[in-house]
């Protein structure tokens, strides 16, 4: 099961509720996680994607769309 959350500005793994603006899991079916969030220009957002089970891995894709350009940058492996 996949789980994702979006944070504004920064993510603190020792205090996950801090800066949290949206979260969800793959309950929309077909092992797909969907987060719909209105984001603002020139603000950094952190997307955290994980699983609920230890040692569960797999590939995934990110689709981001909007009325202006979207820049994605990987900050961790």
Give dist(CA 46, CA 52) in Å, integer.
19
* Local confidence band at 1 (pLDDT 50, 70, 90 cut-offs): confident
Residue, of 61 and 46, whose pLDDT is higher: 46
The CA-based angle 63-64-69, given to 5 degrees, is 135
pTM: 0.81
> Which tens digit of pLDDT belongs to each residue from 9-51?
999 999 999 999 999 887 666 667 788 888 888 899 999 988 8
């Amino acid at each position: 099961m996949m789980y994702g959350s979006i944070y504004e500005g920064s993510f603190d793994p020792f205090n996950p509720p801090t800066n949290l603006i949206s979260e969800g899991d793959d309950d929309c079916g077909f092992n797909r996680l969907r987060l719909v969030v209105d984001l603002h220009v020139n603000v950094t957002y952190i997307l955290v994607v994980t699983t609920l089970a230890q040692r569960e891995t797999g590939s995934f894709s990110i689709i981001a769309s909007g009325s202006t350009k979207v820049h994605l940058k990987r900050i961790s492996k």
